[in-house]
Amino acid sequence: MLTQKDTPYFDAMIKYVKDKVVPFHTPGHKQGGGTVKKFRDLIGEKALKLDLDIDDIENYDNALKSAQRLTAKAYGADNSFFLVNGSTGGIHTMLLATCNYGDEIIVPRNAHKSVMSGIIMAGAVPVFIPYQIDKELHVPFNVEPEDVERTIKEHPKAKVLIIASPTYYGLSTDTPEIVRIAHSYGKIILIDEAWGAHFKFHPDLPVSAMDAGADMCTNSTHKLLSGLTQSSMLHIQGNRVKKDRVKSMITLIQTTSPSCLLRASLDCTRMQMATEGKSLLTKAIRLAEKARNGINKIQGLRCHGKELVGKKGCYAMDPTRLIITAKELGYTGYDMEKILREKYKIKVEMADLFNIVAIVSIGDTEKRIDYFLSSLADFASKEKGNVQKIQQISKKYHNIIGSLNNVPQQLLIPHQALFSPQKAVTLARSVGGISAELIVSYPPGIPLLLPGEKISGEVIDYIKIGMNAGMKFTSAEDNSLKTIKVVID
């Protein structure tokens, strides 16, 4: 009988390599022999030997099933699936498995672009829950249960509801209450828990989606745990979602050659979390608090934390997330990100107009936190920003940030608009037209326009201010946004 200490999938891979099987199968590099030397020298022969795609032979199928069963147990799910295309793949699977073409789906406007692209692919019709915007931090917060309930009442035909908890900034909503509301109206509730793969394993972290009773959720195991990049998980519980439909949707969207290395890293991460997750996370939380306290002692810098909890849209916060602002020193988040990268060789997770966001994880050390703190202290004492410029941006942004929640009129369903005849026009000419593409401001990855929406002057103003401050735009054909594609009438 397997226990959480076992790693059946990884062990099957090791056995395959130890058996010295002669490979007449993919990948063509044949366990490293065909790779470029400098690549092989850096990556290492052992890793290349394990770069396999051999699910259909030997007893891999059983090993995978065993590893996924152990994962379901560790996460409190009925079934778990290993994914190799990030939470993006998990979110697409959840949406394709639960929505039919033309179905309404309830979703926060600030959902990640993977949610919006999944809705487009499924041909679903989004109806939006307003999310909270903190005008002090200029940061999108989460949704409030009362707004979820009101949206459900206004759209009784919607069968499915999807929320993200936590957000990219680590801010959770009251998921047990939202699950209760959704189920009381007979809705399926899906949770984008890309940033919460660790929640299940420490009592000081927000409640996990499975513990909150969600029907399905997806975790980016690669984001805050030790999974290799792209490795993620999908969990299901209860009988509202059909497991076989989920399985078939995974095969519909996922590669037919899933990387064994990615899957093995999921197997090992689950073992690590189930057996020593609490102590590893205790250390990560302590290091993050040390960083937060240290930053708050540096003049001109501010690192947000527990004081956010209880504000509208922040029911709980992941303490391992550091939201740092240098507004008082006269820097945008983008400026600060650039200086840290160029001068101190520090790369943070993301920057927005007024903040940088850094993550602290089970992989961090005391020494690294000390270096971060001494670099920030040096930055704050030596760099001279432009306070006036920040105040001007702040004022303009303050006036328009609320407009992000003003959902443009939806004239076509997103799927229809994306595949309609279309043409590129300048920003100025686009006002009044129907967007033929998804436009997302990045970070934090909030959609400004969905295909099918009427383009308003407000959105165009937001884009212009964001551009001046260094915001990036993704998902459009012309991401410089000199032009936007609109549907031809």
Ligand X SMILES: Cc1ncc(COP(=O)(O)O)c(C=O)c1O
CB burial class (10 A; 0-12, 13-18, 19+) of residue 367? exposed
Q: Does 162 bind ligand X (CB under 6 A)?
A: no
The residue number whose beta carbon is nearest to ligand X equals: 86
Q: Does 192 bind ligand X (CB under 6 A)?
A: yes
Decide whether 108 or 294 has the Cβ nearer to ligand X: 108
Q: Radius of gyration (Cα) for the chain, nearest Å? A: 23
DSSP states of 204-259: TSPPPHHHHT-SEEEE-HHHHSSPPTT-EEEEE-SSSS-HHHHHHHHHHHS-SS--
Smallest gap, in angstroms, from Cβ of residue 387 to ligand X? 31
Decide whether 64 or 440 has the Cβ nearer to ligand X: 440
Decide whether 224 or 273 has the Cβ nearer to ligand X: 224
d(C-alpha 336, C-alpha 303), whole Å:
14
SS3 476: coil
Q: Does 116 bind ligand X (CB under 6 A)?
A: no
Smallest gap, in angstroms, from Cβ of residue 168 to ligand X? 4
Residue keyed to tokens 């079934």: 79
Instruction: Tell which residue, 192, 32, 45, has the closest CA to residue 110.
Output: 192
Q: Does 337 bind ligand X (CB under 6 A)?
A: no
Instruction: Tell which residue, 132, 139, 119, 248, has the closest CA to residue 190.
Output: 119
Smallest gap, in angstroms, from Cβ of residue 422 to ligand X? 27
Which listed range, 13-21, 68-76, 84-92, 481-489, lies at the site for ligand X (CB under 6 A)?
Answer: 84-92
**b/e per residue 37-53 (b: at least 16 CB within 10 A):** eeebeeeeeeebbbbbb
The structure tokens listed for 83 are: 């994914």
By the 8 A CB rule, do 309 and 316 touch?
Answer: yes
Which listed range, 12-20, 42-50, 188-196, 408-416, lies at the site for ligand X (CB under 6 A)?
Answer: 188-196
By the 8 A CB rule, do 336 and 326 touch?
Answer: yes
Which listed range, 36-44, 80-88, 306-314, 321-329, lies at the site for ligand X (CB under 6 A)?
Answer: 80-88
Decide whether 112 or 321 has the Cβ nearer to ligand X: 112
d(C-alpha 427, C-alpha 437), whole Å:
13
Residue keyed to tokens 């998921």: 175
Q: Does 194 bind ligand X (CB under 6 A)?
A: yes
Which listed range, 145-153, 191-199, 373-381, 456-464, lies at the site for ligand X (CB under 6 A)?
Answer: 191-199
- Residue 311: phi and psi, rounded to 5, are -70, 160
Decide whether 71 or 430 has the Cβ nearer to ligand X: 71
Looking only at residues 202 through 261 of this chain, which bind ligand X when binding is defined by CB under 6 A? 220, 232
Roughly how many angstroms between the first and final C-alpha of the chain, as a whole number?
64
x/- site string to ligand X, residues 18 to 47, per CB under 6 A? ------------------------------
Decide whether 108 or 433 has the Cβ nearer to ligand X: 108
d(C-alpha 132, C-alpha 112), whole Å:
15
Instruction: Tell which residue, 191, 228, 208, 222, has the closest CA to residue 95.
Output: 191
Decide whether 200 or 222 has the Cβ nearer to ligand X: 222
Q: Does 422 bind ligand X (CB under 6 A)?
A: no
Decide whether 88 or 430 has the Cβ nearer to ligand X: 88
- Cα 344 from chain centre: 27
DSSP states of 122-164: HT-EEEEEP--EETTTTEE----HHHHHHHHHH-TT--EEEEE
The structure tokens listed for 214 are: 């969600």
Q: Does 88 bind ligand X (CB under 6 A)?
A: yes
Smallest gap, in angstroms, from Cβ of residue 236 to ligand X? 18
Smallest gap, in angstroms, from Cβ of residue 195 to ligand X? 6
Sole binder of ligand X in the list 71, 80, 114, 226 (CB under 6 A)? 114
Decide whether 140 or 385 has the Cβ nearer to ligand X: 140
Looking only at residues 438 through 467 of this chain, which bind ligand X when binding is defined by CB under 6 A? 445
Sole binder of ligand X in the list 12, 67, 80, 112 (CB under 6 A)? 112
x/- site string to ligand X, residues 256 to 295, per CB under 6 A? ----------------------------------------
By the 8 A CB rule, do 163 and 181 touch?
Answer: no
By the 8 A CB rule, do 137 and 357 touch?
Answer: no
Sole binder of ligand X in the list 168, 201, 379, 462 (CB under 6 A)? 168
Question: What does the binding site for ligand X look like in residue numbers (CB under 6 A)?
Answer: 86-88, 112, 114, 164, 168, 192, 194-195, 220, 232, 445
